Copies of this chain bind each other. A is one copy, B any other.
């Protein structure tokens, strides 16, 4: 009866990139006085989906930090808002690798309405991510095993 967060599935996008799907639910905390999801919160939704995408490949970020001393940081974000989401809406976030180099990855993400994402496009984003030492935020090479697993 309860339909909710958390069963990831993986599909295929045009061009062959593997697409990771992460379902979400809109709660009170996500909304604003406009009656809809506060636009900044899509960055949280996209972050959760990227985190689960990593986890589905076997990478926990807390564990990575402890073992490598490094962590991901967002260096650029571009967001386009199409339609508003409302309390209790189910969303599906899709996530895929757009391109990657030694020190950064560019990730495409979309949030659509519906548990299966068959509803309205709500928000699409391009997120550029780098890897830094956790202490000094010095940019360094992304662990190649991560880039390989996500590509």
A residues sitting closer than 8 Å to B (CB atoms) are 1-2, 4-8, 23, 25, 27-29, 31-36, 38-41, 43-44, 47-48, 51-52, 55-56, 58, 60-63, 71, 73-81, 83-84, 86-88, 134, 137
Contact = CB atoms under 8 A, between A and B. Distances in A.
Contacts of A36: 33, 137
Q: How many copies does the complex hold?
A: 4
Given A28-B32, A28-B51, A51-B28, A88 B75 contact: no
Of A27, A28, A79, A134, chain B has the most CB atoms within 10 Å of the CB of: A28
A1 B6 CA distance: 11
Given A6-B5, A77-B77, A88-B60, A71 B34 contact: yes
Contacts of A81: 73-77
A63 B89 CA distance: 11
Contacts of A28: 32-34, 38, 47, 51, 61
Of A7, A34, A55, chain B has the most CB atoms within 10 Å of the CB of: A34
A85 to B, nearest CB: 11
B79 A34 contact: no
A90 to B, nearest CB: 11
A133 to B, nearest CB: 11
